[in-house]
Structure 1
Amino acid sequence: MTRIGYVLKVYPRFSETFVVTEMLAREALGDDLTIYALRPSTDSRFHPEIARIRAQVNWVPRPRRAIDMWELLANSVNEPDMRTHLAEILPAVADLPGDEVAQGAALARAARDAGITHLHAHFASLAGRTAWIASQLSGIPYTVTTHAKDIYHESVDPLWLRRICADADRVIAISRYNERYLHSVLAGTGARIELRYNALELDRFPFRPPAPADGPLHVVAVGRLVAKKGFDDLIDAVGILTKAGIPVVADIAGEGEERDCLAGQITALGLGDRVNLLGPLTQAEVRALLGRAQVFAAPSKPAEDGNIDGLPTVVLEAMACGTPVIATDVTGLPEVIRDGDTGILLPHSDPQALARALRELAEGTVDAAPLARNARALIERDFDSRAQAAVLSAWESTPELQEVH
């Protein structure tokens, strides 16, 4: 029997709706899932969809003291083969924090005891390292889905990235851009890289044609308030339009480390009645916000630390709903926002270009209706969570079940 262990740094995590969507689709297929979380959540809100997840959630113990670390290791690696494997990987894990190694051992013990047949880690960072350790100790194969920060950020250790991906059963890239990058940085490792986009439960995102402009142009942006989202460029663009006498209102939903900085920028530009920071919203609240919006803005850009967006799920949600999207030419975004076809694509870090695109929509010189229709067609074709789940399920089935697939 196939039993899948999902390895996640934090669960539940407000910003990672794609993980919940993926697990829901797999459970709908009949997959038997168990969740292993390495850190508790510190989020202030949670999506109601989490309540639909049937999988048991296990928080992998994290030792705080050296004596607890050694006790956890001893209790976890309590079979001869696991002790042998631990000795074999000690040179590799010697540079890791001791609590990570102990958590990897605890995951190996828990997965073996639960009869887990395959581990599935999201992000090739902490979750990927922990899955690697657990796999080395237990012999349970694993798959890792890579995203953005875990492969692009300046903190990424290339040795560990190559090690995790080389030993994975599959390495999943969430965009063609990421797939090309992984082929480059993993050259010579033998890593089996597969493209598999994050997807949506399409029934939760009904399409409605974009409404004609009536009053100020209503712009919506959603995401964590961090530098790579480019929300400062959106605020600048609203300032440019306001000075030009173009009525526009922007709602930015999310929470994060840049909130105070963005609030200060809004105040400095005198845009307190034009730009609203809404805080974190649930998926249902985001859908309602998209339904009221005339345009969705995704002004992503590379951050100074190398962090960069992958392919934001909320962009796909806007496209599914029929909200016209303006996005920048960052990583996977050009794969879905095809300029003049499924949306408007701009160079990143260019508030003037963003202001011009918003003005064209506000003045009706760009017809949003065909953009919205084409965007929905693309989402239906390539981003259905049922299709995504079927592929993942087939990849991670035990050998005897793979023959059935």
Structure 2
Amino acid sequence: MTRIGYVLKVYPRFSETFIVTEMLAREALGDDLSIYALRPTTDSRFHPEIARVRAGVHWVSRPWKGSEMWDQMSRCLEGTDPERLARILPALTTLPGDEVAQGLELARLVRADGIEHLHAHFASLAGRLAWIASSLTGVPYTVTTHAKDIFHESVDPVWLRRVCVDADRVIAISRFNEDYLGRLLAGSGARISLRYNALELARFPYRDPHPVGTPLRVCAVGRLVVKKGFTDLIRAARILLDDGVAVQVDIAGEGDEHPALSEQIRSLGLAEHVRLLGPMTQAEVRELLARSDVFAAPCVEAPDGNLDGLPTVVLESMACGTPVVATAVSGLPEVVRDGETGVLLPPGSPEELARALGAIASGATGTLELARSARRLIEQQFDSRRQAAVLSGWQAPGRRGR
């Protein structure tokens, strides 16, 4: 059995349910996992599914003082092949000292724990440290890329290319991301493979959508950040009300945009029609989906270039039978197929969003076949058991890509 080390920036993290789902499915398959966390969590709530993860968690030491950094580096370099260190030293000089120290510490832990393969989620901090540990130990690594680690204006293209080129395999969570990375890494020899994030389907039982009532109940779930497009949803609620369509919008999540969204709700006179519910567990999200007529994912590209990859909660809504209205951003058109599995709109248009929601409220857009087709798609392509089997096969000895 291969010993797999998961390298994660923060663990546990409330918004990264897809990682917990992936690890649970792999453990159910029999994989031996260990978790290496680089930062402590600051989340205020946690999903109960975290308690089911059996993998041990190792907190990779991060020095806070210069003296601590050098002491940690000195300890971790014992037993390191000097030729391996010399090869990567020019690259290490471009990183912050505490990051280098953590990379060396991760390499030490990998050797001590007998890890045979590293798997990083996000090609940014976690990917860079997996690269350091792999370079020093010879243990191969794979990396799953998502959104902010490849699209954001802060992404260092040199390091992104380095992490992806030296990886045993680069995993893209959507065809959109796969195509983007293919262009970015053309000619580099990077091995890019598509593998969607997935769901533990038993936790998301399907039911046909209930008849739309009055008011139209719309829900949205996600971090309160610009790329989620919640300002457009709030504006759409005002448009619907002005057009005589009764609507109740519930937005679950926490984030930096909470004050701005609260002020927008107040200024548009929507205090009785739009609620910010705060963070919710997956069980609470399922309850929210069950009492909603439609789920809205009005994603946009943020001014800093940040995009959503493929929001897990969209998959959860489709699995449960709650119709989805979404914008054509990044990987969303791959699952929300207009008129087949949901309603797809151009991003950044509250007017289009209001029209789509109004058509559901009036019955002009039927939801039953949309919901049933969406569930079929989820079962075919987003089952975590299949995802785990593919990942396990990719990371097994003798089946490595490089």
TM-score of the two chains, using structure 1 as the length reference:
0.98
Indicate the residue corresponding to 2:356 in structure 1: 357
**Is the Cα contact below 8 Å between 2:199 and 2:382 reproduced in 1?**
yes
Name the CA distance, whole Å, in 2 between partners of 1:234 and 1:34. 40
Indicate the residue corresponding to 1:40 in structure 2: 40
Name the CA distance, whole Å, in 2 between partners of 1:27 and 1:353. 44
Secondary structure of 1:235 counterpart: helix
Name the CA distance, whole Å, in 2 between partners of 1:213 and 1:326. 15
Structure 1 position 84, deviation (Å): 2.8
Q: Provide structure 2 residue ranges, at least 5 long, that are not aligned to the other structure.
A: none
Indicate the residue corresponding to 1:50 in structure 2: 50
Indicate the residue corresponding to 1:31 in structure 2: 31
Indicate the residue corresponding to 1:19 in structure 2: 19
Amino acid corresponding to residue 17 of structure 1 in structure 2:
T
Name the CA distance, whole Å, in 1 between partners of 2:289 and 2:194. 28
Q: What do the CA deviations read for 1:22-81 (whole angstroms, capped 9, x no partner)?
A: 000000000000000000000000000000000000110000111111111111111151
Indicate the residue corresponding to 1:145 in structure 2: 144
Amino acid corresponding to residue 272 of structure 2 in structure 1:
D
Misfit runs of 4+, over 3 Å: none
Amino acid corresponding to residue 107 of structure 2 in structure 1:
A
Indicate the residue corresponding to 1:219 in structure 2: 218
Structure 1 position 212, deviation (Å): 0.6
Q: What do the CA deviations read for 1:62-104 (whole angstroms, capped 9, x no partner)?
A: 00111111111111111151x3322221111111000000100
Q: What do the CA deviations read for 1:201-259 (whole angstroms, capped 9, x no partner)?
A: 00000000001112200000000000000000000000000111100000000000000
Name the CA distance, whole Å, in 1 between partners of 2:383 and 2:35. 23
Structure 1 position 144, deviation (Å): 0.2
Q: Provide structure 1 residue ranges, at least 5 long, that are not aligned to the other structure.
A: none
Q: What do the CA deviations read for 1:165-218 (whole angstroms, capped 9, x no partner)?
A: 000000000000000000001112110000000000000000000011122000
Name the CA distance, whole Å, in 2 between partners of 1:295 and 1:354. 12
Name the CA distance, whole Å, in 1 between partners of 2:273 and 2:185. 46
Indicate the residue corresponding to 2:126 in structure 1: 127
Amino acid corresponding to residue 73 of structure 1 in structure 2:
M
Name the CA distance, whole Å, in 1 between partners of 2:241 and 2:80. 70
Indicate the residue corresponding to 1:179 in structure 2: 178
Indicate the residue corresponding to 2:60 in structure 1: 60
Name the CA distance, whole Å, in 1 between partners of 2:219 and 2:197. 22
- For these two proteins, the number of residue pairs brought into alignment is 400
Indicate the residue corresponding to 1:167 in structure 2: 166
Indicate the residue corresponding to 2:92 in structure 1: 93
Equivalent residues in 2 for 1:279-318, closer than 5 Å: 279-318=278-317
Name the CA distance, whole Å, in 1 between partners of 2:185 and 2:126. 19
Name the CA distance, whole Å, in 2 between partners of 1:382 and 1:214. 32
Indicate the residue corresponding to 2:192 in structure 1: 193
**Is the Cα contact below 8 Å between 2:61 and 2:102 reproduced in 1?**
yes
Structure 1 position 140, deviation (Å): 0.6
TM-score of the two chains, using structure 2 as the length reference:
0.99
* 2:366 is equivalent to residue 367 of structure 1: yes
Name the CA distance, whole Å, in 2 between partners of 1:245 and 1:274. 13
Secondary structure of 1:326 counterpart: strand
Structure 1 position 339, deviation (Å): 0.3
Structure 1 position 304, deviation (Å): 0.2
Indicate the residue corresponding to 1:387 in structure 2: 386
Name the CA distance, whole Å, in 1 between partners of 2:241 and 2:261. 17
Equivalent residues in 2 for 1:107-122, closer than 5 Å: 107-122=106-121
**Is the Cα contact below 8 Å between 2:209 and 2:367 reproduced in 1?**
yes
**Is the Cα contact below 8 Å between 2:206 and 2:320 reproduced in 1?**
yes
Name the CA distance, whole Å, in 1 between partners of 2:310 and 2:218. 20
Q: Identity of counterpart residues, as a percentage?
A: 68
Name the CA distance, whole Å, in 2 between partners of 1:185 and 1:100. 25
Indicate the residue corresponding to 1:331 in structure 2: 330
Secondary structure of 1:20 counterpart: helix
Q: What do the CA deviations read for 1:300-353 (whole angstroms, capped 9, x no partner)?
A: 000000000000000000000000000000000000000000000000000000
Name the CA distance, whole Å, in 2 between partners of 1:51 and 1:132. 29
Secondary structure of 2:183 counterpart: helix
Over the aligned positions, Cα root-mean-square deviation in angstroms equals 0.9
Amino acid corresponding to residue 335 of structure 2 in structure 1:
V
**Is the Cα contact below 8 Å between 2:80 and 2:136 reproduced in 1?**
no
Indicate the residue corresponding to 1:105 in structure 2: 104
